[in-house]
Homo-oligomer: A and B are copies of this chain.
């Protein structure tokens, strides 16, 4: 039997979060406040991920995998500080953190996650 797929907050090009087969996939999330610096952008992105996971009835303690793209790999320490505050050192997902040019030059961080429901 085909799995049920539930999509949330779809625009003309993507959905912000999609559920299927007990997993929740977020889009690559970027900050709206592009003048917020690495820490500020990371905080905004992680708060948005909290909100998207809640839409699907799950939360940050159930993330299994995170991909983090930084516009400059030297932003890693500043991103990690915000990340560690957010995770509280608990329920760590797997993670890959690489440098990549993002959609807008002022976007410094992009994060996408896969969570279990």
Binding site for B on A (CB under 8 A): 2-3, 5, 7, 10-18, 20-23, 25-28, 62, 64-67, 69, 73, 76, 80, 83-84, 87, 89, 91-103, 110, 112, 114, 116-117
Is B13 a contact partner of A95 (Cβ separation < 8 A)?
A: yes
Q: Which residues of B contact A16 (CB under 8 A)?
A: 94
9 contacts between A and B (CB under 8 A): A2-B62, A2-B116, A3-B117, A13-B83, A20-B116, A25-B94, A65-B114, A96-B110, A99-B100
The 8 closest A-B pairs by CB, nearest first: A28-B96, A99-B101, A14-B95, A98-B100, A27-B94, A20-B116, A25-B65, A15-B92
Tell me whether B64 and A98 are in contact (CB under 8 A): no
CA distance A64 to B2 in the complex (A): 13
* B7 contacts A91, C-beta separation under 8 Å: yes
Instruction: Report the copy number of this chain in the oligomer.
Output: 3
Q: In the complex the two chains form, what is the Cα distance from A67 to B87 in whole Å?
A: 25
Q: Is there contact, CB below 8 Å, between A18 and B73? A: no
Partner of A93, one of B12, B14, B114, B116: B14
**A2 contacts B117, C-beta separation under 8 Å:** yes
